[in-house]
Structure 1
């Protein structure tokens, strides 16, 4: 295994822990919430966005919210969370109050949320806190007009609704609430606008279908590198090349970008990418490559690109962050980015292309 480190600015200690015990042990108690969220994504997922709602409530003064919270209190909490760029990855944040009032669950009592998107469909997986009465959630679904699973409540089947039903319940609700699966054993709720997709996604959570980390090499490593983020965005396989490359820039910017990439010695295509915002608002960027050699060769070029002109976005990356450290570890390159001030929304800024240092 090759390991290479490029440090820019402040040098910090890096500790790499190689844990044994096999796959089974890794899949149980040693998982972080983020690793668990990634492990429950369907195999075909291309982009997965994560929100640690427990952390968000702590950082945005929402720990006292509950079933009886007013629209004003919930709205104020969400405003604070948006201002801190804590919930830009959420698919259900705007539906919080209506979900809380109508369904008996929402981000105010979720542990975390993961929104996975693929070409086949999209699904929200919400891990709920122990305080949530999932039997009560299913009773609410019946009362709201959802069609119960053929096997009945408590069986992990799909509660089927429709776009019209959701709009009638409350126009602020997200369309992903059209179909709901409640998994009591895992204390998880799944949401999707596609009946068959939410059912197949539930099979991943229960362990009877292949997951993203099973199907896509490098996904588990990126999830581990992300640590325990407040918010994160994962691009599986080479989807980052499609979503963040300079292909979305205009012709002039593409020419400038090509020249800058050539100046740093070129880069290799990404085989996976994670952007993970930590509690201190720093951003961990993890890049997966086809080989250790590619990762080692990409450290310095990626650091240099992340320290210069933000082609296609305007200004420079240095206006927004400094690269505290860049390093390679096996097939991964990790960049630790520190915002220039606490008002910088790095995750939102860098999760939409073009992003020069993430180009292919």
Structure 2
């Protein structure tokens, strides 16, 4: 009996080891975008990602930790002009963060904003070599209450932020994870505590969005929506009555349109924008590749004018249950920021 018990223990130990090795291998193979999404709270429905390190490389900019505020401001202006900062929760906070916190979009590796019906959380990955003890001392000096446990929540609150400077409410409560090299923040303590296991405990990741995330490659900035959000907020439901009537006519002429299960729009290196849309089946994706291409080539009710005023539609493909579209923005257009907030005809459900 005792030998059988030890055999069971050995099997469980081996399975746990194999699971750990598999997790480590998957993590090693992930790019920054995939890794960030894998740390999102499981209830997240809308995510926005900015790879600040790659944005700086795209713009040919290097910013030191002690760079003056004018240099930081100039970088953020260039990022805005290239439509590479609109997915961030932090642009208006950047200069104060850089000076007072010791990290900001000017120096972060990347940032992920996750939003759900219950709350929002920002995951900020700092650069390798960041001194977390120094970071903790900075926060305490700014007025955040140091938690009893090192993985606890630093309490700031709405009254503290104005004393520090112009900061987004998402920086009211913070948590530090030196092992993952991240600072996690939220505007509510309860939701931050609820979301932390996704980052610190490996309990993150979203069901049903892996396909559009993988199809987005290694973006500079991206927005990701689950089916409920894209069909309820991004699509034509947010448009006025006359725009919805026009949309109905355009959709009827375009052909078959099926509900989306996931949606991602991303700014790619070199200036292009990629759209990824997932469907219930491969057959739906093939049919929708044609209809969505027609919708993306004509009028843009709810946006005004035509989509051709904003971008040139490039290659549209269906691979498996995912349709991808390449959009080449015209000079002076802000395709990612404009079309990630709706209403968007080609994202209709």
Aligned partner of 1:357 in structure 2 is 346
Q: TM-score, normalised by structure 2?
A: 0.90
Partner of 1:45, secondary structure, is coil
Q: Deviations 1:207-261 (Å, cap 9, x if unpaired)?
A: 353x242xx22x1111111111111000023210112111122211111110110
State whether structure 2 residue 262 is matched by structure 1 residue 268.
Answer: no
Structure 1 segments unaligned to the other structure (5+ residues): 1-21
Alignment of 1:247-258 (within 5 A): 247-258=237-248
Report the structure number with the largest CA radius of gyration. Answer: 2
Number of aligned residue pairs: give it. Answer: 329
Q: 1:162 aligns with which of 144, 157, 160?
A: 157
User: How far 1:61 sits from its partner (Å)?
Assistant: 4.3
Alignment of 1:60-75 (within 5 A): 60-63=59-62, 65-75=63-73
- Which structure has the higher relative contact order (CA within 8 Å, separation 6+)? 1
Aligned partner of 2:296 in structure 1 is 306
Partner of 1:200, secondary structure, is helix
Q: Which has the higher helix share?
A: 2
- Tell me, in whole angstroms, the C-alpha distance in 2 between the residues paired with 1:183 and 1:126: 10
Structure 2 segments unaligned to the other structure (5+ residues): 1-20
State whether structure 2 residue 201 is matched by structure 1 residue 203.
Answer: no
- Tell me, in whole angstroms, the C-alpha distance in 2 between the residues paired with 1:244 and 1:108: 30
Aligned partner of 1:340 in structure 2 is 330
Q: 2:99 aligns with which of 84, 88, 101?
A: 101
User: How far 1:26 sits from its partner (Å)?
Assistant: 5.8
Question: For the Cα contact (< 8 Å) 1:87–1:93, is it kept in 2?
Answer: yes
Q: Deviations 1:309-341 (Å, cap 9, x if unpaired)?
A: 111211111122122111111121111111233
- Tell me, in whole angstroms, the C-alpha distance in 1 between the residues paired with 2:212 and 2:31: 12
Aligned partner of 1:112 in structure 2 is 110
Alignment of 1:189-338 (within 5 A): 189-209=183-203, 211-213=204-206, 216-217=207-208, 219-338=209-328
Q: TM-score, normalised by structure 1?
A: 0.88
Question: For the Cα contact (< 8 Å) 1:62–1:108, is it kept in 2?
Answer: no
Question: For the Cα contact (< 8 Å) 2:47–2:114, is it kept in 1?
Answer: yes
Give the CA RMSD over aligned residues: 1.6
Q: 2:177 aligns with which of 179, 183, 186?
A: 183
Q: Deviations 1:168-207 (Å, cap 9, x if unpaired)?
A: 111x111111111110001111011111211222210123
